[in-house]
Amino acid sequence: MAHITNSVEYGIHCLLWLVYVDDQQPSSRDLAELQGVSPSFIAKIFPKLEKAGIVRANEGVRGGYRLAKPPQDITVLDIVDAIEGKKPLFDCQEIRGRCAVFEGDPPGWATSGLCSIHKVMLQAEKSMRDTLAQETLVSLSQSVDRKAPNNFSPKVNVWLSDRSDSRRRKIKRKGS
């Protein structure tokens, strides 16, 4: 059975920071280190988000990522599909036709129509996808805003800015 992996969780956390950053464009490494997660793991997620049109990458010393569209236009479902692909929640194996009592070919009544179990799983998947489609980066960020102190976002911006400045200084020293 397919499921949502921790790549989605990490990706959403990173994207939430992109909602809060001012004019900065943090690197995937900066976003990973900010949250205490593997930079190489995050580096594998961002190309998928870029391909889906969720983020835009900028090259060079000031390079990094920014949202490619307004956060209110990016749903959690968009992010899940970008990172995981549009995998089904359930993969029906049609075992209903393999009953030993059938002694060979199953009767029509046993395999006609949609499998009852598959039907329930399709309904569950639709409900999940509908719910994920209703939540956006803005609605998630508003939830974070209600919990975090007012000075938290500015502290993160300062931390990211310091990282960016440090990276530029290192590059200038190497080029000198």
Mean pLDDT of 47-75: 91
What is the DSSP track for 5-28? -HHHHHHHHHHHHHHH-SS----H
Mean pLDDT of 51-60: 90
Q: Please say if the pLDDT value at position 74 is more than 50.
A: yes
Judge contact between 59 and 97, C-beta under 8 A: no
Instruction: Give the other-Cβ count within 10 Å of 43's Cβ.
Output: 14
Closest CA to 36 of 17, 51, 22, 54: 17
Q: Is the pTM of this model over 0.75?
A: yes
- C-alpha 54/C-alpha 67 separation (Å) is 6
Domains annotated on the chain, with CATH: 6-175 (1.10.10.10)
Q: What is the chain's length?
A: 176
Residue 1 — very low, low, confident or very high, per pLDDT cuts 50/70/90?
very low
Q: How far is CA 115 from CA 48, 97, 98, 99, 118, in A?
A: 34, 10, 13, 14, 5
Mean pLDDT of 141-166: 88
Residue 70 — very low, low, confident or very high, per pLDDT cuts 50/70/90?
very high
**Residues near 46 by beta carbon (within 8 Å), at least 6 away in sequence:** 14, 28, 55, 57, 65
CA 143 to chain centre: 17
Instruction: Calculate the average pLDDT of the chain.
Output: 89
pLDDT of 82-127, one tens digit each?
999 988 888 888 888 888 888 888 888 888 888 999 999 999 999 9
pLDDT of 21-35, one tens digit each?
867 889 999 999 999
Residue 60 — very low, low, confident or very high, per pLDDT cuts 50/70/90?
low
